[in-house]
Chains A and B, each alone.
Chain A
């Protein structure tokens, strides 16, 4: 679908809604072409392709907020849905979150979001698949699984404040999991560009961890020093950054519910950004769903809570101003970027002395979002460190602790960063290895 057509469709939907009687309207139209090759047992298990043309529509009348997500191949159906939302509006009270749509700002496009090489590979991803199979099999592993996804997306926002914004982008998501003996290793990458060398590094890291963990021993649960790999750090900071959105705070899903910007929430070594203006990460965008210019901003700066992420509605409700993080209704995080430290990997191990390097995790679940108590089950390589050196691999353990405590116990960060993006890191995250002291671990009792 061309840019012009996306704008035209958005404008038609907007005009219909205004004519029907809505007072404020925003329409975000999307056109996406995406292909994914999924691997299992060292071969493709399925090749998947998506062609999507959809719209998200935001509607207001009498301060009542309504909305729809809907395909746009048949505009009559869209109009019918809008008309029925109009009849619904009379039945609900004004929204507790209502604030007028903001006036558009001068658009500052974000260059470099489209990679022609990636665009071409969507048509025929088989050379990428072949390279993955070849590179994964270079290492001493039994087999591998994983996936690679290549996507081209166009999005267009029109609204009743006369915003008319269009952005094209491509992104790559890849993660591979290798198996060797009793061991396994997993690694991922998110990028706006198709870089075969980086994909090969994903395979290499996954396979190295699998090989290093092929023989495992019991490690006693309790308090221990832990080096979080970028996979695990990425997962933790997806939770923590999301907790900094105003909607999470309002709805009781946040450790920041009783905190104010300016309060210390972590050691001063930690600086955590929402980074939409970083064109290398797949969440980058130049405008939010209310048409405001995005900008990169610290959520935590040198350990101090700096910004709550707002759209105009939550900012109006809680006091403050939009941080350019609007989704259609609630604010959202675009990209997470954690500032690197000054330690090499070896220096982090030396600093740790005794403990574990945890390379992957899943099922992070909270007992209580306000207190931040959680556990997560570690998977893939858990490497045992003694006297500052990796000496073996541990059998499965959990981390069972609280996010506030982990933030306060960060000791050091690596100087190299990695761009993570997979199942358990839904918001693209750039992060180094992070050393945390005295983390609670747990294991089944019988």
Chain B
């Protein structure tokens, strides 16, 4: 295994030290991608791209500087260190409280995630044909409504990092990822349109394509979308009902209303003009946010996950973080700066999207802990309720308190059984109402892929979010339209 540019990373760190910075970190970060896109099974084009560069962070007189270059000559890399140093120094006079990092035991390791079937070993023609076949299966699945259009995307990537800092970190890592997504529009002019946008992504190799089985399930989904157009009725919105929230929505909910508000930099106001603040205040550890069934974990170390890593971008070893534990706010997500403010240790949440981003506090793979019910047990005592399986529209306020999810595939529940489809139910509730109203979760833990956006400039990092199906009691639904 060869590692390019390692010497430049080491030289950058020692150059920053010589300049007088109290902390220097250099990260070589490359992401090579290739992929293709298709519309209605016809290929639009293929790409093979490469983002590559060295990012440098320094602390100078208590001020934090970051500089990045895609020009990997020694001259340009050392000039980049000087830019970070100079601009941090010139702003130190505006700094009210100096930036300090927590003391940590940092890693000196090399690791790699495995691809069982290397994507480059798979004939590109097979990848190209996949879209054609998928369109054939999807477009012929229904007869009354029509698949108006389907766009599909395939991507493979390899992320490489070399991270060295003056506190002793020396981490080299390589993580391959695969993704497959689609946008499908089902239309019946007299009844309207259903749209579904969905992406699979994970770390690993081409073996994931078979595991995702889009060929198998998407034609069936499209039949359901046709059925929604033909048969779905208005959901009950006049009185509160019991709601079974599908794992796809639960995953997004825990990401948005547990993971994000638990980010310590957000709690401290560092993202206040961008992603906002948090309803969680610095002194709220130990406070109750939900019922005993509400446990949310963020774990970067899940093998094969989209947010997989073993050491963060500051060199701190990763571990599972229990953010909400049995309904109690238990732990924040920290990098070394927030950890020093909270007088604790980093739990390895520092991540950067690419060489163009500073490492900031991020989630990895966030999930609601599964319970002990089967799905049937979850609905068996519901006299009248709604099961919302999937969603399209959603949003949450910038303190992560008021959240809304527009259901796509949803069913009435009557006397413990799933009945007919309902169209466009909306779950719009506060974070506390959701976690407090959960009284059961089933065993069916599933993960969903996403790209989480945060920071300035915006950094999108690969994550998973997941959970089981959960039951919440007495929720008043809304409807779109």
* Residues in A lying within 8 Å of B, measured CB to CB: 35-54, 64-71, 73-74, 77, 81, 84-85, 88-89, 91-97, 124-126, 129-130, 133, 143-147, 175-177, 179, 186, 250-253, 257, 329, 362-371, 373-377, 379, 396, 398, 400, 423, 442-446
Contacts and interface: CB of A to CB of B under 8 A. Distances in A.
B70 A53 contact: yes
B69 A52 contact: yes
Given A71-B52, A250-B149, 20 more contacts: A40-B273, A44-B63, A46-B65, A48-B66, A50-B67, A50-B69, A66-B47, A68-B48, A69-B50, A71-B72, A73-B72, A91-B123, A95-B44, A126-B91, A251-B39, A252-B184, A363-B395, A371-B193, A396-B402, A444-B402
10 contacts: A49-B66, A51-B67, A51-B68, A71-B51, A71-B53, A91-B128, A252-B183, A362-B276, A365-B394, A398-B402
Contacts of A95: 42-45
Given A70-B49, A250-B39, A179 B272 contact: yes
A54 B70 contact: yes
B480 interface: yes
B74 to A, nearest CB: 11
A42 B408 CA distance: 43
Given A43-B94, A329-B44, A442-B404, A71 B480 contact: no
A370 B72 contact: no
Nearest to A93: B43
B178 to A, nearest CB: 17
A78 to B, nearest CB: 9
Nearest to A58: B45
Interface in B157-193: 183-185, 187, 192-193
Interface in B54-74: 63-73
Interface stretch (B310-318, B378-386, B428-436): B428-436
Interface centre among B96, B127, B270 (most CB of A within 10 A): B270
A67 B44 CA distance: 11
A74 B84 contact: no
Contacts of B97: 43
A76 to B, nearest CB: 12
B403 interface: yes
B124 A47 contact: no
Interface string B385-406: 0000000111111100011101
Which of A46, A65, A373 gathers most chain B CB within 10 Å?
Answer: A46
Interface in B224-246: 240
Contacts of A147: 273-274, 456
Contacts of A91: 123-125, 127-128
A47 B70 contact: no
Nearest to A177: B273
Contacts of A49: 65-68, 80, 83-84, 87
Interface in B11-53: 34, 36, 39-40, 42-53
A443 B402 contact: yes
A366 B183 CA distance: 13
A155 B339 CA distance: 42
Given A71-B71, A186-B273, A252-B149, A47 B404 contact: no
Contacts of A375: 393, 395, 404, 406
B398 A67 contact: no
Contacts of B128: 91-93
- Interface size class on chain B is 35 or more
B220 interface: no
A303 B67 CA distance: 46
Nearest to B42: A96
Nearest to A53: B71
Contact of B124 (A36, A92, A363): A92
Contacts of A251: 39, 149, 151, 183
Contact of A50 (B68, B428, B429, B456): B68
Contacts of B433: 444, 446
Interface of B: 34, 36, 39-40, 42-53, 63-73, 76, 79-80, 83-84, 86-88, 90-91, 93-97, 123-125, 127-128, 148-151, 183-185, 187, 192-195, 240, 268-274, 276, 356, 358, 392-398, 402-404, 406, 408, 424, 426, 428-430, 433, 456-458, 475-478, 480-481
Given A43-B96, A147-B273, A444-B433, A368 B43 contact: no
A350 to B, nearest CB: 31
B395 A377 contact: yes
Contacts of B270: 40-41, 45, 145
A47 B272 contact: no
A62 B151 CA distance: 23
B273 A176 contact: yes
A62 B408 CA distance: 41
Contacts of B406: 367, 373, 375
B283 to A, nearest CB: 17
Nearest to A30: B70
Contacts of A46: 64-66, 358
Question: Which residue of B46, B66, B67, B270 has the most chain A CB atoms within 10 A of its CB atom?
Answer: B46
A337 B204 CA distance: 45
Contacts of A444: 402-404, 428-430, 433
Contacts of A45: 64, 270
A32 B396 CA distance: 35
A364 B404 CA distance: 11
B398 A362 contact: yes
Given A49-B84, A252-B185, A88 B91 contact: no
A398 B395 contact: yes
A252 B84 CA distance: 44
A252 B186 CA distance: 10
B475 A47 contact: no
B406 to A, nearest CB: 5
Taking each of B69, B72, B393, B429, which has the highest tally of chain A beta carbons within 10 Å of its own beta carbon?
B393
A253 B193 contact: no
